Structure 1
Amino acid sequence: MSVPSPGIAYLLIVHSQPNHLKRIIRRLAHPDDHFFVLVDKKQHAAPFQQALSGLKNITILPQTTSIYWVGMGTVEAELALFRAAFHRGPFAHYVLMSGADYPIKPMPYIRQFLLSAGKNFIPVHSRLHPGGEAHFTSRFTRYHFLNNDYLNPRGAYRNHRFFRQVRRLLEKYPIPRRMTRSRTIYHGPTWVSLTHSFVDYVLKTVSRQPNELAFYRHTYCPDEMFLHSLIKESPFATSNYYDFERETDGKNWLGLFYADWHTPDVVLPKTLDTADFNALKESHPHALFARKFDEKASAGLLDRIDEYLLV
């Protein structure tokens, strides 16, 4: 008897749109694949549990992580999902997604591509330190206190007079962090897909070298640096799909995820609507998913994707 091929683990970090989450899972469902869902601790889990009731191959993780914009909570959520999926696996690929994503290729196409790829999809766009872009250096050369409702610019108390003043003081008088020239930091988008071997490497690294994770605890947007820096300094560097320093596919710098970072005068990435359908239709063959979607503003586009792209 032959051993079944490992499947795909979809790791979803969500804080809203439970019905859209159900729609994502129904479009990607396959008997060999599994969905791991982590709901932001600040949100009620019941609507998500209700929306997913009756669906198969789903694990909803305990709500242990509060997730704040550009804070450390996203990295903590990633690691919780990696651990849960790794211990249930092995899986051929671990696809990290948000609840604002959606497939733009049919499920059989996605499975065939990922199961035959044998690569990690962690787009590495730039080196931030040493000798990187000065615009980004404040992300890690000063302390940021963002993983809370008080000092995060999008937290629950963002408009409270006292905390606005504290944020202004920290901007004017930043607290410096000690940096070494030997630490190299790279940058790229959050949403990635990893092989089983690299997930094993990540989990062993954070277990054996706690300082590696601790370095990012008071940085700005650590989810755009942690995995990217780790893979570049690892034996898996040559297995990465997009790397600005290597001979890789430079046409698809967002890896598996299409996003619009170019439309002016909107919050980026742009919330996609029916005007974006042709761009999704003509997107790179390796753009398997797109973001970001709002179940109301993107309703017409989602229906067109279902009717024309996922068949």
Structure 2
Amino acid sequence: MSFRAAVLVIAHHQPEVFAALVDSLRHPSIDVYVHIDAKADLASFEAVVPESDGVTYLRDRRSVNWGGLSVVHVILRLIEHARSSRNEYQRYALLSGSDLMIAPIEEVLAAWQSSTEFIRVDWRLTGPGAQRAHLVDRRHFPDDRSPLRARLSGRIPRKVDPTVELYQGSTWWALTAGAVDQVTGFIAEHPRWLDFHRHALCSDEIVFHSILKAAPQARRIVQDVEQCADVDKFIADPVHALHHIDWSDRTALSPRVLGIDDEPTLRASRALFARKVDTTSTALIDAFAVNSDYLP
């Protein structure tokens, strides 16, 4: 059976940056499935990346809110859509429309063909040694934008669902088909557990991580804070699974936008992707146009 990967892309702005990412992913072994936030203009994305063999847009779009369960629902829809195709995928990779590929496509495919679960687990949220418990033991309303909910968010205590211990890490991952099956199977068996995360904060950084930590695939997680000797060094590492992400400002809500001055650091990184980039990062994006052999 020949190797095939489904790349799941979530985007909401800057179609030109999104187009550069998709162009870098063009390869016979890769199919790209895209969700564009319902608040964004889909036509502006289709104008730069038309739907074609290898690129599919979800037509049933939803509004996505930072930190909300809406992000998880979109990821699950992308997985379901990929599964409904006639292709059998051995790897599913989740990317943002603000990501940049910084390695040759052959290197990316080689990593994806391993048995490693490329997901990073940074924090235990429940159980012994828990930190950041406020993300789950307080009631948050990230998908409800009303002023009243905003004022109440994070102030109301609640009981944590005990089905599995909860963990948090970077949203962006590249998982084997078996790991994805584990996640979707668990959610199908425990729908109330998923509903609990409706009032968690950043459930997209919790749901997949927590399920896999309790699964047989846990031993194949590439970065697990509970398996490291130096926690401070682990947390400071800018490589998150396969992404180089600059969280040097630990108080920021978003990682630093990367520019051409970051090129030497990214070329030395063991990561395969970087985030985030935007329209100010054009020179950097051009510097990493590594997949020109497969451009249409």
Whether 2:265 is the aligned partner of 1:279: answer: yes
Given that 1:83 and 1:203 are in contact with CA atoms closer than 8 Å, whether structure 2 keeps it comes out as: no
Give the deviation of 1:208 after TM superposition: 2.0
State the match for 2:133 in structure 1.
137
Instruction: Give me the whole-angstrom Cα distance separating, in 1, the residues matched to 2:49 and 2:211.
Output: 34
Give the SS at the match of 2:44. helix
State the match for 1:196 in structure 2.
177
Give the deviation of 1:92 after TM superposition: 1.8
Give the deviation of 1:279 after TM superposition: 0.7
Give the SS at the match of 1:64. coil
Instruction: Give me the whole-angstrom Cα distance separating, in 2, the residues matched to 1:146 and 1:245.
Output: 28
Amino acid at match of 1:147: D
C-alpha distance 268-210 of structure 1, shift in aligned 2 (>3 A): closer
Give the deviation of 1:238 after TM superposition: 1.1
State the match for 1:168 in structure 2.
151
Whether 2:211 is the aligned partner of 1:230: answer: yes
Return the match for 2:256 from 270, 277, 285.
270
C-alpha distance 10-55 of structure 1, shift in aligned 2 (>3 A): same
State the match for 2:103 in structure 1.
105
Instruction: Give me the whole-angstrom Cα distance separating, in 1, the residues matched to 2:118 and 2:141.
Output: 29
C-alpha distance 222-265 of structure 1, shift in aligned 2 (>3 A): closer
Given that 2:238 and 2:246 are in contact with CA atoms closer than 8 Å, whether structure 1 keeps it comes out as: no
Return the match for 1:37 from 23, 28, 34.
34
Instruction: Give me the whole-angstrom Cα distance separating, in 2, the residues matched to 1:289 and 1:211.
Output: 34
CA-to-aligned-CA distance 1:264-305 (integer Å, 9 cap, x gap):
897641000111111101101xx11000000x2101111222
State the match for 1:158 in structure 2.
none
State the match for 1:73 in structure 2.
70
Given that 2:69 and 2:143 are in contact with CA atoms closer than 8 Å, whether structure 1 keeps it comes out as: yes
CA-to-aligned-CA distance 1:149-179 (integer Å, 9 cap, x gap):
33xxxxxxxxxxxx2x6533555xx222112
Q: Comparing 210-219 with 262-271, which one deviates more in the overlay?
A: 262-271
Question: Once the two structures are aligned, what percentage of the paired residues are identical?
Answer: 31
Give the SS at the match of 1:236. helix
Instruction: Give me the whole-angstrom Cα distance separating, in 1, the residues matched to 2:12 and 2:38.
Output: 8
Given that 1:125 and 1:253 are in contact with CA atoms closer than 8 Å, whether structure 2 keeps it comes out as: no
Decide which structure has greater strand share.
2
Amino acid at match of 1:67: V
Give the SS at the match of 1:140. helix
CA-to-aligned-CA distance 1:202-226 (integer Å, 9 cap, x gap):
2222122212211211111111111
Instruction: Give me the whole-angstrom Cα distance separating, in 2, the residues matched to 1:215 and 1:267.
Output: 23
Amino acid at match of 2:210: S
In structure 1, list runs of 5 or more residues that go unmatched.
151-162
Given that 2:92 and 2:177 are in contact with CA atoms closer than 8 Å, whether structure 1 keeps it comes out as: yes
C-alpha distance 239-252 of structure 1, shift in aligned 2 (>3 A): farther
State the match for 1:120 in structure 2.
117
Given that 1:86 and 1:196 are in contact with CA atoms closer than 8 Å, whether structure 2 keeps it comes out as: no
Question: How many pairs were matched up?
Answer: 287
Instruction: Give me the whole-angstrom Cα distance separating, in 2, the residues matched to 1:217 and 1:264.
Output: 25
C-alpha distance 254-310 of structure 1, shift in aligned 2 (>3 A): farther
Larger radius of gyration: 1
What root-mean-square deviation, in Å, do the aligned CA atoms of Structure 1 and Structure 2 show? 2.5
C-alpha distance 170-16 of structure 1, shift in aligned 2 (>3 A): closer
Instruction: Give me the whole-angstrom Cα distance separating, in 2, the residues matched to 1:208 and 1:182.
Output: 11
Whether 2:183 is the aligned partner of 1:187: answer: no
Given that 1:190 and 1:224 are in contact with CA atoms closer than 8 Å, whether structure 2 keeps it comes out as: yes
State the match for 1:291 in structure 2.
275
Amino acid at match of 2:287: R
State the match for 2:7 in structure 1.
10
